[in-house]
Amino acid sequence: MVKKRIWSRVSMIFSVVLAVMSPGVTSFALAKQPKTVKVAFVYDGPANDGGWSSAQDAGRKYLVKMLGVKTTYVENVPESADSERVFEQLAQQGYNVIFGTSYGYMNYMADVAPKYPNVIFLNCGGYKTAPNMGTYFGKNFELKFDTTLDVTRVCRPKFVPHAL
C-alpha cells in the first residue's frame, strides 16, 4: 500500500510537470514558454523521512530520471514566513515551477506568486489559486478503498466497513 501511495504521488507530480512543459496544455498564464524547465521542491521535513517528503522526493527523482528536468529541493523549511523567503529565492534563481509540498505553505506561497508571474507555484493540498498558482493532491478515495479492503481482510467482520 505504501508503494501505491508513493507511485500515486510520483505520477501526479510527473503529470503536472508534463503539462507545464507542453505548450497550450497548462491552464496557467505564462508570458512566454520557458526554454528549459527548472523545478524546485520545498519540503517541511527531511527528504528522506520515509513518509510525506520521501514520496514527494520520489516524484522529483522520477522527473530527473525520465525527463532530464533540472530540479532542486530545500528541506526542513518551517511553515512560516521563512518559507516565503525560500520561495522568493527559488524564483530569483530561475526556477519556473515551485512545489510547496505542505498545506501550511499555502498563504505564504499566495503572497509570493503575484511578484513572479512567469513562475508556476503549486501547493499540495491547499485551496488558494491565482493565475500562476494552483493546487495538487493525490487520489484519497483509492487509499480509503484500499484501507477498507485491508480492514475487511484482517478483521473478517460480519459487516463491511465503509471508509469512503
pTM: 0.71
- Report how far apart the first and last C-alpha atoms of the chain are (Å, whole number): 17
* Contact (CB, 8 A) for 95 and 107: no
**Amino acid in position 15:** S
* Contact (CB, 8 A) for 149 and 131: no
Task: Return the bridge partners of 38, or none.
Answer: 70
Question: What is the side-by-side strand order in the sheet with 97-100?
Answer: 70-74, 38-42, 97-100, 120-124, 133-136
Collapsed DSSP state (helix, strand, coil) of residue 68: coil
**Which portions of the chain are predicted below pLDDT 50?**
2, 6-7, 18, 20-31, 163-164
Domains of the chain, with CATH numbers? 2-155 (3.40.50.2300)
* Contact (CB, 8 A) for 9 and 138: yes
pLDDT tens readout for residues 132-151? 999 887 655 555 555 555 55
